Structure 1
Amino acid sequence: MIVNFQGVKVTSDAGITLIAEIDRKLQITSRFAQCFQDYRQPNRNDHSIESLIKQRIRRFK
């Protein structure tokens, strides 16, 4: 998903808030995470594949 705001800058995180709300409603990140096979040892994982994807997406703001 690409969101492009052409209007006046209101806040630096406004776009992220919109994308996060869309993701919560449509569960895009959750469904995307299900596309990956996790070969890591379950007892040694601190973060799920979904949380890793969400973290990576937030870096691209």
Structure 2
Amino acid sequence: MNRAPDLTAAAWRKSSYSDGGGTNCLEVADGHAGIVPVRDSKRPDGPILVFGASPWASFLEGVRDS
């Protein structure tokens, strides 16, 4: 059985690439073993995407390389 993580007390941080103007901001919650929760900072009560740590690392590598 695959249960959704409890993220009610998650400490969210904005991407260091955030433009600071309130648009296109991504937030992640650190400290969750094996997963990376991600949300849109403009919609903190909106949906949360949860990625595996390895696919997230691959994504970040691809972004850095582009």
Q: TM-score, normalised by structure 2?
A: 0.27
Bigger RCO (CA 8 Å, 6+ sep)? 1
Richer in strand (by share):
2
Q: TM-score, normalised by structure 1?
A: 0.29
